[in-house]
């Protein structure tokens, strides 16, 4: 299945949203390269999921197409709560079109949606999951924790919830700071304990959403000698990325985030025979 996370990083004056997830698909085999976080171009927020790709992918892809098809949505000029309402409407519409609803196991698939509101500029996040009483998907507020004596928002979807929050609690208790990258650190730790039989695994994938309503994917690698992954897929030998790179073994330390487009990479080399 999945561990999918979203949290509001409010640390040392920073206010931004982070999505993080594992990258494993399980269907009798294990496939550690699946994108599970999806930026929504235009309004520039993100949706992630845990559960069945058979159901989740069409829901997300149809919603992306809906956003592109409606000018008020495609230019982002609508409250994020309206986007969330329409995403729930699409999920429920597609749910009704499934012929064998018992086999579909809707309760196993859930979504996380979060971004900054066009009108207020404030954080908005929802967990979208199946409600058995109403026989419909509904939007619920994200969960909260305390970090450094401050209330913080952490949304969770997927497997091993108790184990994950136990590990996160240990990290928060040790660091005693505002919420920073600790949820990603806890995700990395629990992924490091899994084997091939586990429903979670692969490289973490990370996307940031900013208050100015832009998003930025981050490439990830375990250490400087490991391959770089983007949205869970290891880059080919000849591929390069312009996205920032997180080195998981350097949490909170120097070199944790590396910017390939740093100062040195912007130096211009004049053509031969010319003077500048």
Tokens of 40: 């929504």
pTM of the model as a whole: 0.91
Q: E strands of 97-158, at which residues?
A: 110-116, 123-131, 136-141, 144-147, 150-158
Could you report the per-residue pLDDT of 154-188, keeping only the tens digit for each? 999 999 999 999 999 999 989 888 899 999 999 99
- pLDDT at site 266: 46
Judged against a pLDDT cut of 90, whether residue 262 lies above it is answered with: no
Which tokens belong to 108? 């196993």
Token pair 């599970």: residue: 36
Residue with token string 């869970």: 232
Q: Decide if pLDDT at 216 tops 90.
A: yes
With tokens 């390069």, the residue in question is 240
pLDDT digits (tens, 9 = 90+) for 45-101: 999 999 999 999 999 999 999 999 999 999 999 999 999 999 999 999 999 999 999
Instruction: State how far Cα 165 lies from the chain centre.
Output: 17
Could you give the CA distance from residue 226 to residue 3 in angstroms, rounded to a whole number? 22
Q: How far apart are CA 37 and CA 253, in angstroms?
A: 26
Q: What is the pLDDT of residues 19-48, one digit of tens each?
A: 999 999 988 889 999 999 999 999 999 999
Angle between helices 80-96 and 53-69 (to 10 degrees): 130
Q: Which two tokens stand for residue 243?
A: 């996205």
Q: How many CB atoms lie within 10 A of CB 6?
A: 29
Instruction: Render pLDDT for 133-156 as a digit per residue (tens, 0 to 9).
Output: 999 999 999 988 876 676 788 999
* Percentage with pLDDT > 90 across the chain: 74
Could you give all domains of the chain from N- to C-terminal order, each with its CATH number?
3-266 (3.60.20.10)
Phi and psi angles of residue 11, each rounded to the nearest 5 degrees, phi first: -145, 125
Do the Cβ atoms of 3 and 22 come closer than 8 Å? yes
Rounded Cα distance between 6 and 260, Å, is 25
């Amino acid at each position: 299945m999945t561990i999918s996370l979203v949290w509001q990083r409010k640390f040392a004056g920073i206010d931004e949203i982070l999505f993080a997830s594992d990258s494993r698909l399980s269907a009798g085999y294990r496939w550690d390269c699946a994108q599970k976080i999806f930026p929504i171009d235009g309004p520039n927020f993100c949706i992630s999921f845990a559960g069945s790709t058979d159901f989740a992918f069409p829901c997300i892809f149809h919603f992306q197409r809906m956003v592109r098809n409606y000018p008020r949505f495609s230019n982002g000029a609508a409250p994020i709560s309206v986007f969330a309402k329409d995403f729930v409407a699409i999920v429920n519409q597609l749910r009704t079109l499934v012929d064998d609803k018992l086999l579909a196991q809707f309760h196993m698939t859930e979504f996380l949606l979060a971004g900054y509101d066009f009108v207020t500029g404030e954080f908005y996040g929802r967990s979208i999951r199946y409600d058995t009483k109403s026989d419909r998907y509904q939007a619920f507020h994200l969960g909260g924790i305390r970090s450094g004596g401050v209330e913080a928002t952490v949304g969770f979807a997927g497997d091993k919830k108790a184990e994950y929050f136990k590990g996160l609690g240990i990290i928060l208790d040790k660091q005693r700071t505002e919420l920073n990258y600790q949820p990603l650190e806890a995700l990395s730790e629990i992924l490091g304990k899994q084997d091939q039989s586990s429903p979670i695994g692969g490289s973490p994938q990370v996307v940031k959403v900013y208050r100015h309503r832009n998003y930025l994917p981050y490439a990830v690698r375990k250490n400087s000698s490991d391959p770089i992954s983007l949205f869970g897929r290891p880059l080919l030998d000849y591929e390069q990325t312009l996205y920032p790179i997180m080195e998981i073994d350097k949490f909170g330390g120097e070199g944790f985030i590396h910017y390939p487009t740093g100062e040195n990479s912007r130096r211009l080399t004049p053509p031969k025979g010319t003077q500048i």
